Amino acid sequence: MEDKTLFAQVIDKAQTWLDGNYDANTKAEVKQMLESEDKKPLIDAFYRDLEFGTGGLRGIMGAGTNRMNIYIVGAATQGLSNYLLKEFSKLDRIKVVIGHDCRNNSRKFAEISADIFSANGIKVYLFEALRPTPEISYAIRKFGCQSGIMITASHNPKEYNGYKAYWNDGAQVLAPHDRNIIAEVNRISSVDDIKFKGNPKLIETIGKDMDKAFIEEVQKLVLSPESIARHRDTKMVYTPIHGTGSTLIPNALKAVGFTNVISVPEQDVISSDFPTVVSPNPEEPAALELAIKKAIETGAEIVMASDPDADRIGTAIRDDKGDFILVNGNQTMLIFLYYIITKRKELGLITGKEYVVKTIVTTELVKTIAAKNGVEIFDCYTGFKWIADIIRKNEGLKKYIGGGEESYGFLAGDFVRDKDSVSACALFAEITAWAKDKGKTMYQLLQDIYVEYGYSKEKGISLVRKGKEGADEIEAMMKKFRSNPLKSIGGSPVTFLKDFVKLETVDFAANENIAIEMPTTSNVLQYFTEDGTKLSIRPSGTEPKIKFYIEVHGTMKSREEFDKAEEAANEKINAIKSELGI
């Protein structure tokens, strides 16, 4: 009965698109789905409305209420416009920034959004062409705007696109504005409610001047100019993986002093099809294969990559045998914060007011490094809007010196309020030069961090479950883990269980429940065991995935014990995966 009701609703929604004020191509696509014997594409396209959530929109492109298209983007922009006009009614002029990545329809969605904002009397700063996400965040602050959007699906496959909404601090929208914007978007009941006819007088194109200002801010973050000067000709390979990083990162590396940045010509080609990779995600080993090949050919020491909207960084370094190995997001975070804290101590820049931020699913080893060096640390939810929220709350009171998450995102300076691969690439190159001054490779530097602070290994596993059936399966899995909590993990008893829906920690040893102080709830479960193992489970907020994060710990007394520690950790992680059936 439920399936029949759903199908009837799908047919009704599709018919509305056929009858409504939609363009001919859209109607033809809907008609084709209606007439096809295979009704799954039709159901997936119309079984729900693509939600304008707390991070904006993200979905597969195409016709339908559950797809990214000009009408879904239009409704989002009209709803955001309506809210801005209410929230900032006392201003003479409301201003927004619009940026976009390299994906199919990204420029179209950006221009349509510019038209809609301007049709509502809102001043628009539209980037002349594709630009990195962090530059959009920066431009919002630079121009004193009230909001901004970035058209991107980040590192998702090529059939996706997305829409990130930002507030006046340059961060992605948080409460109460997120809920209020969502309410306004949901009030758009018809395509006829959307003001598509723009006012060109209110649309200003921006580009090179903003690039220059952004790079000047990156230059200010340098802590070891002498090391860079001594090792400015260090060979390094950088690839934008066909995306926006090419517009800023090579110039930023040059500006901070590096002279031997080697490109990957095949991946310098800007393309929405990402022709050289299966997935344009620097977390995926295959995405860095061409860059590593180029590094081997040229004798480069490090490899750096950014995703299509250039907010994430992926890296590779040479091991003790000279072979390239990938550095994961947790390790990158460790290297960054270890360096920033160590170097700031050398320069006398640790005053007791400094702090760093990590997400709850990021390695706990960051806490150890911060604590041993007298630096405060904050934990927050996954997503850089939460890191930005902590920066905003501490502005003028404490000094932010770095923060990041295991999913290859890092932010070195607070002039941006989202993860930033531009400054991260410059920082990674700088650390390489600093390590050389210490007589170390990046691989040896990482090993030395483990020797000094303890060894940890993290493994992320994502189970993809697409469409309505997949969403239902993910929901059932979370219910199962919540109603039947694990008693032990990898042979070690669970001592704490954190449930961020209930905002409650269960302390099994003390047999008591403790409240968790967080700004809101989140569908995350975390288990901590007697031997320091951490397991986090959560559905992705942007992709059809359920994610598992496993973290295990060990000790290293010397670099020579690294392989042994790694082997033991891998055995334990595999055993835990087997226990969980993933």
The residues annotated with a catalytic role in the active site are 154
DSSP-assigned letters across all residues of 143-171: HT-SEEEEE--TTS-TTEEEEEEEETTSS
- Give just the sign of the alpha carbon dihedral 554, 555, 561, 562: positive
Q: Nearest-CA neighbor of 150 among 226, 80, 254? A: 80
DSSP state of 563: H
Read off φ and ψ for residue 496, nearest 5 degrees. -135, 145
Tell me the three state secondary structure of residue 420.
Answer: coil
Tell me the three state secondary structure of residue 343.
Answer: helix
Output the CA torsion 575→444→402→347 (10° steps).
Answer: 150
Q: Are 65 and 185 in contact (CB under 8 A)?
A: no
Scanning the structure block, which residue is given the tokens 């920082």?
A: 427
Q: How far is residue 196 from each of residues 21, 23, 480, measured CA to CA in Å?
A: 12, 13, 46
Residue 382 token pair:
């996954």
Q: How far is residue 537 from each of residues 320, 474, 506, measured CA to CA in Å?
A: 34, 11, 16
How far, in whole angstroms, is CA 494 from its chain's centroid? 30
Q: How far is residue 173 from each of residues 108, 260, 450, 500, 519, measured CA to CA in Å?
A: 23, 39, 37, 20, 14
Give dist(CA 238, CA 325) in Å, integer.
15
